Amino acid sequence: MDIRYTPEEQAFRVEVRRWMAAHVPAQPLPDFDSTREGFEAHRQWERTLHAGGWGMVTWPVEYGGRGLDLIRWLIFEEEYYRAGAPGRVNQNGIFLLGPTLIEYGTPEQKARFLPAMAAGDHIWAQAWSEPGAGSDLAGVRSTAVRDGDDYVLSGHKIWSSRAVHADWAFGLFRAPGSERHKGLSLILFPLDAAGVTVRPIQRLDGKPVFAELFLDNVRVPVANRLGDEGQGWAVCMSTAGFERGLMLRSPARFQVAAAKLVDLYRARAGAADPALGAAVAQAWMDADAYALSIYATASRLMAGGTIGPETSTNKIFWSELDLDLHKTALALLGAEAELTAAAPDASADVGDWLDGYIFSLAGPIYAGANEIQRNIIAERMLGLPR
């Protein structure tokens, strides 16, 4: 164990810090869910990042990455969040589909999809969930019927984040007549293809953050299938592993939020319930513990280990930490907690805390509900019977 950064790692941090200082927009971008304008502003930021070579630092150089190791990825993320850089509108693509493509894609697929993803030309949505298949993802009913060199996709997907404005989506489709985990294929499709209808869904505060997708005989080439026919479940589980386990929520996000929470506590401590101090300290410790745990996982993966049950423990931990952190912030804000950013008397960051709280409510649901993660921990990690 050597928990010091190497001089090279320190130099890398300086390099990222410099670049971020020079490029992060001075004014926050409009949010990417509410309007097309906000979405395109974020696409532009993805292009800026890509031009600087920072689009996806762990990818191989040939696909627009830097081929960096996971410790450097963590350092990059730390500097990214420290600098207050914009949220990644393409996170479904770069963090989830990207690594899956690198693992399972054919050379043609990699060449076709990865550079466009890294450059922000293709912004991706995930199309897993269906109205009748949420936690029980193997219950998806949407079909892919083989017709010559094409698949014909039909069905109904739902809760697809950012699909309102995104360019492409990936999801599971089954061969007609197949059941459960068998006969599923992972297929990539453009959201502007003939037969795709995208209907925005408002989240509980009215923002159109997700969408349902109606697929009516949508034709895509067989070359859009990732992995073998009928092997979609295994491929998609690998994506879910990335999502819960590492890439989706790097610790820096929570560490920056916790530091802001400490500032808020300092600013409001006079008026605050003294018990809130304990909640603030807990949030800070939890963010710190999450970082330590991810560094341990990253160190292990770099030494050739594989990702295991920590995907589920991480998912529970970061989602509960995020929720507690934001609940504590609202408690500190007191009567102002309910003010949206648009309220005339809302001080600078009031609306952001509320927005963060609303978002954190979803954490224990998406990326596999926490109840499901607890089942996985009990059965696969502790070995309890089904």
Ligand X SMILES: Cc1cc2nc3c(=O)[nH]c(=O)nc-3n(C[C@H](O)[C@H](O)[C@H](O)COP(=O)(O)OP(=O)(O)OC[C@H]3O[C@@H](n4cnc5c(N)ncnc54)[C@H](O)[C@@H]3O)c2cc1C
Residues in the site for another protein, rule: CB under 8 A? 1-6, 9-10, 13-14, 17-18, 21-22, 71, 77-79, 81-82, 251-252, 255-256, 258-259, 262, 266, 277-278, 280-281, 284-286, 288-293, 295-296, 298-300, 302-303, 310, 313, 316-317, 371, 373-375, 377-379, 381-386
- Contact pick of 30, 38, 134, 195 for ligand X (by CB under 6 A): 134
3-state SS record for 30-69: CCCCCCHHHHHHHHHHHHHHHHCCCCECCCCHHHCECCCC
Q: How many residues bind ligand X (CB under 6 A)?
A: 17
- 8 Å CB contact between 357 and 329: yes
Among 77, 79, 130, 243, which one carries the catalytic annotation?
243
The burial of 274, by beta-carbon neighbours within 10 Å (0-12 exposed, 13-18 middle, 19 or more buried), is given as exposed
Asked if residue 287 lies in contact with residue 258, where contact means CB atoms within 8 angstroms, the answer is yes
Which x/- pattern, by CB under 6 A, does the window 141-180 give for ligand X? ------------------xxx-------------------
Q: How far apart are the C-alpha atoms of 112 and 311, rounded to whole Å?
A: 29
For residue 340 the two structure tokens come to 């949206």
β-strands 124-127, 168-174: how paired? parallel
Q: Does 135 bind ligand X (CB under 6 A)?
A: yes
Among 58, 100, 129, 328, binds ligand X (CB under 6 A): 129
Residue with smaller CB distance to another protein, 345 or 386: 386
Shortest-Cβ-distance residue relative to ligand X: 134
- Which of ligand X, another protein, none is residue 13 near (CB under 5 to 8 Å by kind)? another protein
Q: Which residues have CB under 8 Å from 329's CB, separation 6+?
A: 261, 264, 337, 353, 356, 357
74 vs 314, which CB is nearer to ligand X?
314
Smallest distance, Å, CB 287 to another protein? 9
x-or-dash string of contact with ligand X, 199-238, rule CB under 6 A:
-----------x----------------------------
CA distances from 179 to 136, 141, 201 (A): 13, 9, 29
369 binds ligand X (CB under 6 A): yes
Which of ligand X, another protein, none sits in contact with 350, Cβ below 5 to 8 A by type?
none
CB 374, min distance to another protein, A: 4
Binding-site partner at residue 280 among ligand X, another protein, none, CB < 5 to 8 Å by type:
another protein
Is 243 catalytic? The answer is yes
Helix or strand (DSSP H, E) at 328:
helix 310-333
Member of 119, 222, 372, 378 binding ligand X (CB under 6 A): 372
Which does residue 129 touch among ligand X, another protein, none (CB within 5 to 8 A, set by kind)? ligand X
Q: 217: helix, coil or strand? A: strand
CA distance 218 to 93: 21
Residue with Cβ nearer another protein (159 or 290): 290
Alpha-carbon distance of 81 to 251, in angstroms, equals: 10
384 binds, among another protein, ligand X, none (CB under 5 to 8 A by kind): another protein
Identify whether the C-beta of residue 76 lies closer than 8 Å to the C-beta of residue 54. Answer: yes
Q: Which residue has 């609940």 as its token pair?
A: 327
Taking the complex as a whole, the smallest distance from the CB of residue 201 to another protein amounts, in Å, to: 29
In contact, 272 and 332? CB cutoff 8 Å: yes
Q: Distance between CA 131 and CA 156 in Å, rounded?
A: 7
Q: Which residues are catalytic?
A: 243
What does the binding site for ligand X look like in residue numbers (CB under 6 A)? 126-129, 134-135, 159-161, 210, 362, 365-366, 369, 371-372, 375
